[in-house]
Structure 1
Amino acid sequence: MHILGSLVYHVFRSLFVTGEKGIRLAHPFAKAFFIFSTLSLFSTGYYSSLAFLLVATMLLGAVSNGYRWLYSSSILALIPSAWYAITAYLLVLAGLPYSYGLLDIALIGLRTYTLSLLILLYASMVSPARLYNILLRIGAKRLSVAPILTWRIVPQGLVYVLESLAIGRVKGESASKRLAPAMASLLELGEYVRIASYYKIYGTPSNKIPVSTSMKYSVVLVAVSIASILLAYCIAT
Protein backbone atom coordinates (compact mmCIF):
# COMPACT_ATOMS: atom_id res chain seq x y z
CA MET A 1 0.00 0.00 0.00
CA HIS A 2 1.22 3.51 -0.79
CA ILE A 3 2.28 5.70 2.11
CA LEU A 4 -0.63 8.01 1.30
CA GLY A 5 -3.04 5.09 1.24
CA SER A 6 -1.73 3.81 4.57
CA LEU A 7 -2.13 7.27 6.09
CA VAL A 8 -5.70 7.60 4.81
CA TYR A 9 -6.48 4.11 6.08
CA HIS A 10 -5.30 4.90 9.61
CA VAL A 11 -7.16 8.22 9.63
CA PHE A 12 -10.31 6.39 8.60
CA ARG A 13 -9.96 3.77 11.34
CA SER A 14 -9.02 6.21 14.10
CA LEU A 15 -11.79 8.76 13.47
CA PHE A 16 -14.75 7.19 11.70
CA VAL A 17 -15.14 3.50 12.52
CA THR A 18 -15.96 3.68 16.22
CA GLY A 19 -19.68 4.34 15.79
CA GLU A 20 -22.14 5.43 18.45
CA LYS A 21 -20.73 3.30 21.24
CA GLY A 22 -18.24 3.37 24.08
CA ILE A 23 -17.11 6.71 25.45
CA ARG A 24 -18.98 8.47 22.66
CA LEU A 25 -22.13 7.66 24.66
CA ALA A 26 -20.79 9.24 27.85
CA HIS A 27 -22.54 12.32 29.23
CA PRO A 28 -21.36 15.61 27.67
CA PHE A 29 -20.42 17.03 31.08
CA ALA A 30 -18.31 13.93 31.78
CA LYS A 31 -16.53 14.46 28.46
CA ALA A 32 -15.94 18.15 29.17
CA PHE A 33 -14.63 17.34 32.66
CA PHE A 34 -12.34 14.68 31.19
CA ILE A 35 -10.91 17.03 28.56
CA PHE A 36 -10.32 19.82 31.08
CA SER A 37 -8.68 17.59 33.68
CA THR A 38 -6.43 15.69 31.27
CA LEU A 39 -5.24 18.89 29.59
CA SER A 40 -4.56 20.39 33.01
CA LEU A 41 -2.48 17.36 33.94
CA PHE A 42 -0.70 17.41 30.59
CA SER A 43 0.30 21.04 31.11
CA THR A 44 2.42 20.03 34.12
CA GLY A 45 4.84 18.29 31.75
CA TYR A 46 6.23 15.77 34.26
CA TYR A 47 7.09 12.22 33.27
CA SER A 48 4.67 10.83 35.86
CA SER A 49 1.76 12.85 34.48
CA LEU A 50 2.60 11.93 30.89
CA ALA A 51 2.91 8.25 31.80
CA PHE A 52 -0.46 8.31 33.56
CA LEU A 53 -2.16 10.06 30.63
CA LEU A 54 -0.58 7.72 28.10
CA VAL A 55 -1.66 4.58 29.94
CA ALA A 56 -5.15 5.95 30.63
CA THR A 57 -5.62 7.01 27.01
CA MET A 58 -4.49 3.67 25.65
CA LEU A 59 -6.71 1.71 28.03
CA LEU A 60 -9.76 3.89 27.38
CA GLY A 61 -9.24 3.76 23.64
CA ALA A 62 -8.67 0.01 23.54
CA VAL A 63 -11.64 -0.84 25.77
CA SER A 64 -14.04 1.64 24.20
CA ASN A 65 -13.02 1.76 20.54
CA GLY A 66 -11.10 -1.48 20.10
CA TYR A 67 -7.50 -2.44 19.51
CA ARG A 68 -7.70 -1.50 15.83
CA TRP A 69 -8.42 2.08 16.85
CA LEU A 70 -5.49 2.00 19.25
CA TYR A 71 -3.16 0.66 16.56
CA SER A 72 -4.15 3.23 13.94
CA SER A 73 -4.15 6.09 16.44
CA SER A 74 -0.72 5.07 17.70
CA ILE A 75 0.63 5.12 14.14
CA LEU A 76 -0.79 8.60 13.54
CA ALA A 77 0.51 9.88 16.88
CA LEU A 78 4.00 8.67 16.01
CA ILE A 79 4.20 11.00 13.01
CA PRO A 80 4.27 14.37 14.85
CA SER A 81 6.18 12.95 17.83
CA ALA A 82 8.93 11.56 15.60
CA TRP A 83 9.06 14.82 13.66
CA TYR A 84 9.55 16.97 16.76
CA ALA A 85 12.04 14.58 18.34
CA ILE A 86 14.13 14.30 15.17
CA THR A 87 14.05 18.07 14.70
CA ALA A 88 15.30 18.59 18.24
CA TYR A 89 18.04 16.01 17.69
CA LEU A 90 19.15 17.75 14.49
CA LEU A 91 19.44 20.98 16.46
CA VAL A 92 21.76 19.19 18.85
CA LEU A 93 23.91 17.90 15.98
CA ALA A 94 24.02 21.36 14.43
CA GLY A 95 25.24 22.83 17.70
CA LEU A 96 22.72 25.64 17.61
CA PRO A 97 21.88 27.65 20.72
CA TYR A 98 19.16 26.31 22.97
CA SER A 99 20.11 22.75 22.02
CA TYR A 100 18.46 19.89 23.87
CA GLY A 101 19.86 16.96 25.78
CA LEU A 102 18.81 13.39 25.12
CA LEU A 103 16.37 13.45 28.04
CA ASP A 104 14.85 16.66 26.70
CA ILE A 105 14.45 15.07 23.27
CA ALA A 106 12.78 12.02 24.82
CA LEU A 107 10.44 14.30 26.77
CA ILE A 108 9.55 16.22 23.61
CA GLY A 109 8.71 13.00 21.80
CA LEU A 110 6.71 11.66 24.74
CA ARG A 111 4.77 14.91 25.19
CA THR A 112 3.92 15.12 21.50
CA TYR A 113 2.93 11.47 21.30
CA THR A 114 0.72 11.71 24.39
CA LEU A 115 -0.97 14.91 23.24
CA SER A 116 -1.57 13.50 19.74
CA LEU A 117 -3.12 10.35 21.18
CA LEU A 118 -5.26 12.44 23.52
CA ILE A 119 -6.53 14.57 20.65
CA LEU A 120 -7.48 11.45 18.69
CA LEU A 121 -9.31 10.14 21.75
CA TYR A 122 -11.13 13.46 22.09
CA ALA A 123 -12.12 13.24 18.43
CA SER A 124 -13.49 9.73 18.91
CA MET A 125 -15.68 11.06 21.73
CA VAL A 126 -17.51 13.48 19.44
CA SER A 127 -21.06 12.36 18.72
CA PRO A 128 -22.56 13.92 15.57
CA ALA A 129 -26.05 13.13 16.87
CA ARG A 130 -25.38 15.05 20.09
CA LEU A 131 -23.91 17.95 18.13
CA TYR A 132 -27.05 17.98 16.02
CA ASN A 133 -29.23 18.14 19.13
CA ILE A 134 -27.08 20.85 20.73
CA LEU A 135 -27.19 23.06 17.63
CA LEU A 136 -30.92 22.47 17.39
CA ARG A 137 -31.37 23.46 21.04
CA ILE A 138 -29.45 26.73 20.73
CA GLY A 139 -31.42 27.73 17.65
CA ALA A 140 -28.85 27.01 14.92
CA LYS A 141 -31.27 24.85 12.96
CA ARG A 142 -29.69 25.48 9.56
CA LEU A 143 -26.29 24.37 10.88
CA SER A 144 -27.56 21.41 12.86
CA VAL A 145 -27.35 18.98 9.93
CA ALA A 146 -23.68 19.83 9.27
CA PRO A 147 -22.23 17.33 11.80
CA ILE A 148 -24.45 14.53 10.51
CA LEU A 149 -23.53 15.16 6.89
CA THR A 150 -19.84 15.55 7.73
CA TRP A 151 -19.73 12.19 9.49
CA ARG A 152 -21.40 10.63 6.44
CA ILE A 153 -19.51 12.25 3.58
CA VAL A 154 -15.94 12.31 4.94
CA PRO A 155 -15.69 8.56 5.75
CA GLN A 156 -17.13 7.63 2.37
CA GLY A 157 -14.75 10.06 0.72
CA LEU A 158 -11.81 8.37 2.45
CA VAL A 159 -13.07 5.02 1.19
CA TYR A 160 -13.13 6.43 -2.34
CA VAL A 161 -9.53 7.57 -1.93
CA LEU A 162 -8.48 4.11 -0.71
CA GLU A 163 -10.27 2.44 -3.61
CA SER A 164 -8.69 4.81 -6.12
CA LEU A 165 -5.21 4.19 -4.70
CA ALA A 166 -5.81 0.43 -4.78
CA ILE A 167 -6.81 0.64 -8.45
CA GLY A 168 -3.69 2.68 -9.16
CA ARG A 169 -1.54 0.06 -7.47
CA VAL A 170 -3.02 -2.67 -9.65
CA LYS A 171 -2.50 -0.58 -12.79
CA GLY A 172 0.99 0.46 -11.74
CA GLU A 173 0.13 4.17 -11.51
CA SER A 174 1.56 6.62 -9.01
CA ALA A 175 -0.53 7.87 -6.11
CA SER A 176 -0.58 11.42 -7.47
CA LYS A 177 -2.42 10.27 -10.61
CA ARG A 178 -5.17 8.65 -8.55
CA LEU A 179 -6.07 11.72 -6.50
CA ALA A 180 -8.03 13.38 -9.31
CA PRO A 181 -10.41 10.40 -9.82
CA ALA A 182 -10.87 10.16 -6.05
CA MET A 183 -11.74 13.86 -5.79
CA ALA A 184 -14.16 13.52 -8.71
CA SER A 185 -15.92 10.65 -6.94
CA LEU A 186 -16.03 12.68 -3.74
CA LEU A 187 -17.59 15.67 -5.50
CA GLU A 188 -20.15 13.37 -7.08
CA LEU A 189 -20.94 11.89 -3.67
CA GLY A 190 -21.39 15.37 -2.21
CA GLU A 191 -23.83 16.26 -4.97
CA TYR A 192 -25.82 13.07 -4.38
CA VAL A 193 -26.01 13.79 -0.65
CA ARG A 194 -27.04 17.38 -1.30
CA ILE A 195 -29.87 16.29 -3.56
CA ALA A 196 -31.02 13.49 -1.25
CA SER A 197 -30.88 15.75 1.82
CA TYR A 198 -32.24 18.89 0.16
CA TYR A 199 -35.04 19.48 2.66
CA LYS A 200 -32.78 18.75 5.62
CA ILE A 201 -30.09 21.14 4.40
CA TYR A 202 -32.28 23.99 3.21
CA GLY A 203 -35.20 23.38 5.54
CA THR A 204 -35.59 23.98 9.26
CA PRO A 205 -35.29 20.68 11.15
CA SER A 206 -37.06 20.57 14.48
CA ASN A 207 -36.98 16.95 15.67
CA LYS A 208 -34.16 15.80 17.92
CA ILE A 209 -32.30 12.55 17.38
CA PRO A 210 -32.73 10.11 20.29
CA VAL A 211 -29.33 9.52 21.87
CA SER A 212 -28.68 7.12 24.72
CA THR A 213 -26.23 7.88 27.53
CA SER A 214 -23.86 5.30 28.96
CA MET A 215 -23.62 5.65 32.72
CA LYS A 216 -20.71 3.19 32.79
CA TYR A 217 -18.47 5.24 30.53
CA SER A 218 -19.59 8.48 32.16
CA VAL A 219 -18.44 7.16 35.53
CA VAL A 220 -15.17 5.93 34.01
CA LEU A 221 -14.42 9.35 32.51
CA VAL A 222 -15.25 11.11 35.77
CA ALA A 223 -13.02 8.69 37.70
CA VAL A 224 -10.08 9.29 35.34
CA SER A 225 -10.73 13.03 35.54
CA ILE A 226 -10.65 13.03 39.34
CA ALA A 227 -7.45 10.97 39.32
CA SER A 228 -5.90 13.44 36.86
CA ILE A 229 -6.80 16.42 39.03
CA LEU A 230 -5.45 14.74 42.16
CA LEU A 231 -2.21 13.86 40.40
CA ALA A 232 -1.87 17.41 39.07
CA TYR A 233 -2.46 18.75 42.59
CA CYS A 234 0.17 16.42 44.06
CA ILE A 235 2.68 17.50 41.43
CA ALA A 236 1.95 21.17 42.04
CA THR A 237 2.43 20.84 45.79
Structure 2
Amino acid sequence: MITGYGVLVMKAQYFIRSYSNNPHISNKAVALTFDDGPNEHTVEILKILERYHAKGTFFCIGKQIKEHPEIFKQIIEKGHLVGNHTYGHSKYIDLYGVNRFVNEIRKTDQIIKEFSGKSTLLFRPPYGITNPTVAKALKITKHKVIGWNRRSFDTTIPSESVIFKKITSNLKNGDVILLHDTKKITAAVLEQLLLFLQQNNVTTVMIDELFSIQAYE
Protein backbone atom coordinates (compact mmCIF):
# COMPACT_ATOMS: atom_id res chain seq x y z
CA MET A 1 0.00 0.00 0.00
CA ILE A 2 2.83 2.42 0.85
CA THR A 3 4.59 1.55 -2.41
CA GLY A 4 1.39 2.23 -4.36
CA TYR A 5 1.10 5.64 -2.72
CA GLY A 6 4.70 6.35 -3.66
CA VAL A 7 4.03 5.45 -7.31
CA LEU A 8 0.98 7.70 -7.62
CA VAL A 9 1.91 10.63 -5.36
CA MET A 10 5.11 12.24 -6.58
CA LYS A 11 5.40 14.68 -3.67
CA ALA A 12 5.78 11.68 -1.34
CA GLN A 13 9.29 11.38 -2.84
CA TYR A 14 9.20 7.64 -2.28
CA PHE A 15 11.34 6.79 -5.33
CA ILE A 16 12.62 10.14 -6.59
CA ARG A 17 13.38 13.52 -5.15
CA SER A 18 10.93 15.95 -6.71
CA TYR A 19 10.17 19.65 -6.42
CA SER A 20 6.44 19.96 -5.70
CA ASN A 21 6.09 23.21 -3.74
CA ASN A 22 8.16 25.71 -1.79
CA PRO A 23 6.37 26.97 1.32
CA HIS A 24 9.53 28.83 2.37
CA ILE A 25 9.48 31.30 -0.52
CA SER A 26 9.81 34.82 0.84
CA ASN A 27 7.35 36.57 -1.49
CA LYS A 28 3.69 35.99 -2.32
CA ALA A 29 4.08 33.84 -5.40
CA VAL A 30 2.90 30.62 -7.03
CA ALA A 31 4.10 28.71 -10.09
CA LEU A 32 1.86 27.96 -13.07
CA THR A 33 2.75 24.80 -14.97
CA PHE A 34 1.18 23.45 -18.15
CA ASP A 35 1.42 19.86 -19.36
CA ASP A 36 0.92 17.94 -22.62
CA GLY A 37 1.38 20.67 -25.25
CA PRO A 38 2.13 22.38 -27.45
CA ASN A 39 -1.35 22.37 -28.89
CA GLU A 40 -3.65 24.77 -30.73
CA HIS A 41 -5.03 25.85 -27.33
CA THR A 42 -1.51 26.83 -26.22
CA VAL A 43 -1.78 29.98 -28.36
CA GLU A 44 -4.69 31.32 -26.30
CA ILE A 45 -2.94 30.37 -23.06
CA LEU A 46 0.09 32.40 -24.15
CA LYS A 47 -2.09 35.41 -25.00
CA ILE A 48 -3.73 35.34 -21.58
CA LEU A 49 -0.41 35.01 -19.77
CA GLU A 50 0.95 37.97 -21.71
CA ARG A 51 -2.15 40.05 -20.93
CA TYR A 52 -1.54 39.58 -17.20
CA HIS A 53 2.26 39.79 -17.41
CA ALA A 54 2.44 36.25 -16.03
CA LYS A 55 4.98 33.52 -16.67
CA GLY A 56 4.62 29.76 -16.77
CA THR A 57 6.57 26.54 -17.17
CA PHE A 58 5.45 24.26 -20.01
CA PHE A 59 6.20 20.54 -19.85
CA CYS A 60 6.07 19.54 -23.50
CA ILE A 61 5.56 16.21 -25.22
CA GLY A 62 8.15 15.55 -27.92
CA LYS A 63 5.73 14.45 -30.63
CA GLN A 64 3.57 17.51 -29.94
CA ILE A 65 6.58 19.79 -30.45
CA LYS A 66 7.20 18.11 -33.81
CA GLU A 67 3.55 18.61 -34.73
CA HIS A 68 3.40 22.26 -33.59
CA PRO A 69 6.96 23.64 -33.81
CA GLU A 70 5.88 27.24 -34.37
CA ILE A 71 3.67 27.22 -31.28
CA PHE A 72 6.53 25.71 -29.30
CA LYS A 73 8.79 28.51 -30.49
CA GLN A 74 6.19 31.02 -29.28
CA ILE A 75 6.47 29.60 -25.76
CA ILE A 76 10.21 30.29 -25.80
CA GLU A 77 9.87 33.70 -27.47
CA LYS A 78 7.36 34.84 -24.84
CA GLY A 79 9.92 34.11 -22.13
CA HIS A 80 8.41 31.00 -20.56
CA LEU A 81 10.31 27.90 -19.46
CA VAL A 82 10.02 24.52 -21.15
CA GLY A 83 10.60 21.10 -19.66
CA ASN A 84 10.56 17.50 -20.86
CA HIS A 85 7.34 15.45 -20.59
CA THR A 86 8.54 12.40 -22.63
CA TYR A 87 8.12 11.84 -26.33
CA GLY A 88 4.83 9.97 -26.48
CA HIS A 89 3.16 10.26 -23.05
CA SER A 90 1.84 6.71 -23.46
CA LYS A 91 -0.77 5.52 -20.98
CA TYR A 92 1.41 2.41 -20.63
CA ILE A 93 4.63 4.32 -19.95
CA ASP A 94 4.83 3.08 -16.36
CA LEU A 95 5.42 -0.40 -17.86
CA TYR A 96 8.43 0.69 -19.95
CA GLY A 97 11.87 -0.64 -19.22
CA VAL A 98 14.74 1.64 -18.22
CA ASN A 99 16.28 1.91 -21.70
CA ARG A 100 12.96 2.69 -23.35
CA PHE A 101 12.17 5.33 -20.74
CA VAL A 102 15.61 6.91 -21.19
CA ASN A 103 15.01 7.01 -24.94
CA GLU A 104 11.67 8.77 -24.39
CA ILE A 105 13.43 11.48 -22.42
CA ARG A 106 16.49 11.85 -24.63
CA LYS A 107 14.47 11.95 -27.83
CA THR A 108 12.41 14.82 -26.43
CA ASP A 109 15.54 16.61 -25.20
CA GLN A 110 16.87 16.50 -28.75
CA ILE A 111 13.62 17.90 -30.18
CA ILE A 112 13.56 20.70 -27.59
CA LYS A 113 17.16 21.55 -28.47
CA GLU A 114 16.39 21.46 -32.20
CA PHE A 115 13.55 23.97 -31.99
CA SER A 116 14.73 26.18 -29.12
CA GLY A 117 18.50 25.83 -28.91
CA LYS A 118 18.06 24.99 -25.22
CA SER A 119 18.96 21.87 -23.25
CA THR A 120 16.36 21.50 -20.55
CA LEU A 121 17.17 20.06 -17.14
CA LEU A 122 13.52 19.87 -16.06
CA PHE A 123 11.36 16.76 -16.34
CA ARG A 124 7.82 15.91 -15.31
CA PRO A 125 6.75 12.25 -15.45
CA PRO A 126 3.52 11.57 -17.36
CA TYR A 127 0.57 11.28 -14.95
CA GLY A 128 2.97 12.13 -12.13
CA ILE A 129 3.80 8.43 -11.82
CA THR A 130 7.16 7.41 -10.41
CA ASN A 131 8.55 3.93 -9.83
CA PRO A 132 11.97 2.24 -9.63
CA THR A 133 12.27 2.22 -13.44
CA VAL A 134 11.66 5.97 -13.68
CA ALA A 135 14.14 6.53 -10.86
CA LYS A 136 16.84 4.51 -12.65
CA ALA A 137 16.18 6.31 -15.95
CA LEU A 138 16.51 9.72 -14.30
CA LYS A 139 19.78 8.75 -12.67
CA ILE A 140 21.05 8.31 -16.21
CA THR A 141 19.55 11.47 -17.73
CA LYS A 142 20.23 13.68 -14.65
CA HIS A 143 17.00 15.68 -14.95
CA LYS A 144 15.39 17.51 -12.04
CA VAL A 145 11.90 16.13 -11.40
CA ILE A 146 9.16 18.73 -11.11
CA GLY A 147 5.90 17.78 -9.45
CA TRP A 148 2.99 19.83 -8.15
CA ASN A 149 0.87 20.16 -5.03
CA ARG A 150 -2.17 21.88 -6.53
CA ARG A 151 -3.96 19.83 -9.20
CA SER A 152 -6.70 21.48 -11.25
CA PHE A 153 -8.24 18.35 -12.83
CA ASP A 154 -8.89 20.54 -15.88
CA THR A 155 -8.73 17.49 -18.17
CA THR A 156 -11.58 15.71 -16.40
CA ILE A 157 -13.84 18.28 -14.71
CA PRO A 158 -16.23 20.02 -17.15
CA SER A 159 -17.06 22.97 -14.86
CA GLU A 160 -14.98 26.17 -14.86
CA SER A 161 -16.21 27.13 -11.40
CA VAL A 162 -15.30 23.75 -9.89
CA ILE A 163 -11.81 23.82 -11.42
CA PHE A 164 -11.28 27.40 -10.26
CA LYS A 165 -12.36 26.49 -6.72
CA LYS A 166 -10.05 23.46 -6.63
CA ILE A 167 -7.10 25.68 -7.53
CA THR A 168 -7.82 28.67 -5.32
CA SER A 169 -9.22 27.06 -2.16
CA ASN A 170 -6.58 27.52 0.52
CA LEU A 171 -3.96 28.46 -2.07
CA LYS A 172 -0.60 29.06 -0.38
CA ASN A 173 2.63 30.85 -1.23
CA GLY A 174 4.99 28.58 -3.11
CA ASP A 175 2.29 26.27 -4.48
CA VAL A 176 2.84 24.62 -7.86
CA ILE A 177 -0.35 24.54 -9.93
CA LEU A 178 -0.87 21.81 -12.51
CA LEU A 179 -2.80 22.87 -15.63
CA HIS A 180 -2.93 21.60 -19.21
CA ASP A 181 -2.62 23.69 -22.36
CA THR A 182 -4.63 21.10 -24.31
CA LYS A 183 -8.14 22.06 -23.19
CA LYS A 184 -10.28 25.06 -24.12
CA ILE A 185 -11.71 25.20 -20.60
CA THR A 186 -8.23 25.81 -19.16
CA ALA A 187 -7.93 29.17 -20.92
CA ALA A 188 -11.17 30.38 -19.36
CA VAL A 189 -10.11 29.21 -15.90
CA LEU A 190 -6.64 30.69 -16.33
CA GLU A 191 -8.05 34.17 -16.95
CA GLN A 192 -10.12 33.93 -13.77
CA LEU A 193 -7.14 32.59 -11.84
CA LEU A 194 -4.80 35.37 -12.95
CA LEU A 195 -7.38 37.98 -12.02
CA PHE A 196 -7.74 36.32 -8.61
CA LEU A 197 -3.97 36.33 -8.11
CA GLN A 198 -3.75 39.96 -9.18
CA GLN A 199 -6.49 40.97 -6.74
CA ASN A 200 -4.66 39.16 -3.93
CA ASN A 201 -1.23 40.58 -4.82
CA VAL A 202 0.15 37.15 -5.66
CA THR A 203 2.71 37.00 -8.45
CA THR A 204 3.56 34.11 -10.76
CA VAL A 205 7.10 32.77 -10.97
CA MET A 206 8.65 30.09 -13.11
CA ILE A 207 9.94 26.83 -11.68
CA ASP A 208 13.61 27.82 -11.70
CA GLU A 209 12.89 30.93 -9.63
CA LEU A 210 10.53 29.16 -7.23
CA PHE A 211 13.11 26.50 -6.33
CA SER A 212 16.33 28.41 -7.11
CA ILE A 213 17.39 25.72 -9.58
CA GLN A 214 18.89 25.79 -13.05
CA ALA A 215 16.40 25.16 -15.86
CA TYR A 216 18.80 24.78 -18.78
CA GLU A 217 22.36 23.56 -19.25
Q: Same fold (TM over 0.5)?
A: no
More helix by share: 1
Kindly indicate which of the two structures has a greater share of residues assigned to strand. Answer: 2
Relative to the length of structure 1, the TM-score reads 0.26
Structure label with greater radius of gyration = 1
TM (norm. structure 2) is 0.28
